[in-house]
Structure 1
């Protein structure tokens, strides 16, 4: 018996693409970006955890005496007044996006360990091989669904005209595109691993039946 079928080989390759896409999207800060040609834009770009502003006036200061410039982590403890606008920077739809994409991120990290076991350590002859493959497929399905929910919520709500300034000049950036790609790749990866599990399960059943027939033939000859 081969270590894995073509579905398993493709599954590993697609998993690597999904892992790279989701990890980069998780940490990068270009989910929503401003048109660089607009000189007066207040927003530069933002991600799930980092915001970059050209000159954002404090939304809680009606006299606009304080402006935020440059890139900052959302939980930056050193910038005066930044913690006071955290509610503005993290409305409910961003919190939902962060939560579900974090689940996808953790899921793909857990799957990384299991895929290493699948590719390097486990073989079809081992007792729990099929369960391992099914577990990978199930986790990656969860990654795809949770990540998909995150990008859908972000796509429907993040570029509304009542949140970040310059709504008409903002668009979804390459980090968001990577997140979408990672979600699609995770769903494809899940389908391939579940198919691999089904193939290996049938192979084990056929091997068992073949061994049983051989033993019966030997007993008949004896």
Structure 2
């Protein structure tokens, strides 16, 4: 009976895996899609279309380095695009300090979630309560997700505070935070929730292992008696 109890994954672990899937999907979409800030599509003269961490889309952005006002940037480009004439010259404008901070911390969050995916697969498919490092695996997974949540929280808070300032992207009155930012917030919250559930799972498995060990010891004493 005790052995059967040891092999059972608890509800906390199952829910932790489910919440982690949500965190994984939302973080992946937020990291790769260019809609952290979007412009009102009803404004025909808007210079900005949308922007993400790595891709900026403009309708007609004048080159601030062009005194003759003859060069405009139209369409979507990777922010580190080395091929468009004059684009690298406005990189300081496109990537102020707060944007680099957001990129850095959300990249850490994204990497942490990807590494957590490997550990979650081990937890789901390979590891079992009877294995020596099973509880350690769950604890590492929970701490990694907690760290990812902290990095994600720093990124979204910094971007929310500075992303739509009136001295950065043009037409800030007609811009708002887009769905990519919303998914980043959801992914960050889900990282915290999933980490908490895995911590609960680790605690439950620790108790189960202790009970199993005590039951085995008691059974051995009975046999000797």
- Normalised-by-shorter TM-score class: over 0.9
Measured in 1, the distance between the counterparts of 2:167 and 2:67 equals 17
Query: 1:63 deviation in Å?
Result: 2.9
Question: Could you tell me which residue of structure 1 aligns to residue 25 of structure 2?
Answer: 20
How far apart are the structure 2 equivalents of 1:110 and 1:80? 38
TM-score by length of 2: 0.96
Structural mapping, 1:107-118, within 5 Å? 107-118=112-123
Where 2:46 maps in the other structure, the secondary structure is coil
TM-score when normalising by structure 1: 0.98
Pairwise CA distance, 1:65: 1.5
1:89-108 equivalences under 5 Å are 89-108=94-113
Question: What are the within-5 Å matches in structure 2 for residues 136-151 of structure 1?
Answer: 136-151=141-156
Q: What's the counterpart of residue 130 of structure 2?
A: 125
3-state DSSP of counterpart to 1:205: helix
The 3-state SS of whatever aligns with 2:56 is strand
Q: Does 1:206 align with 2:211?
A: yes
Which residue of structure 1 aligns with residue 55 of structure 2?
50
- How many Å separate the matches in 2 of 1:73 and 1:127? 46
| C-alpha RMSD of matched pairs (Å) | 0.7
Distance 2:166 2:214 in 1: 65
Write the mapping of 1:176-191 to structure 2, written as runs, cut at 5 A.
176-191=181-196
Q: Could you say what secondary structure the match of 2:74 adopts?
A: strand
**CA deviation string 1:6-48 (max 9, x = no partner):** 0000011110110000011001000000000000000000000
Can you list the C-alpha shifts for 1:170-193, whole angstroms capped at 9, x where unaligned?
000000000000000000000000
How many residues are paired up? 220
Residue 53 of structure 1 aligns to a residue in which SS? strand
Partner of 1:81: 86
Q: Tell me, yes or no, if the aligned pair for 2:19 and 2:193 is still in contact at 8 Å.
A: yes
How far residue 2 of structure 1 moved from its aligned partner, in angstroms, is 3.2
Partner of 2:221: 216
**Alpha-carbon separation, structure 1, partners of 2:59 and 2:29:** 23
How far, CA to CA, are the matches of 1:104 and 1:211 in structure 2?
A: 42
Alignment correspondent of 2:37: 32
Deviation of 1:85 (Å): 0.5
Q: Distance in 1 between the 2:171 and 2:205 partners?
A: 54
Moved over 3 A (4+): none
SS state of the match for residue 54, structure 1?
Answer: strand
Question: Do residues 171 (structure 1) and 201 (structure 2) align?
Answer: no
Q: 1:63 aligns with which of 65, 68, 71?
A: 68
Displacement after TM superposition at 1:144 (Å): 0.4
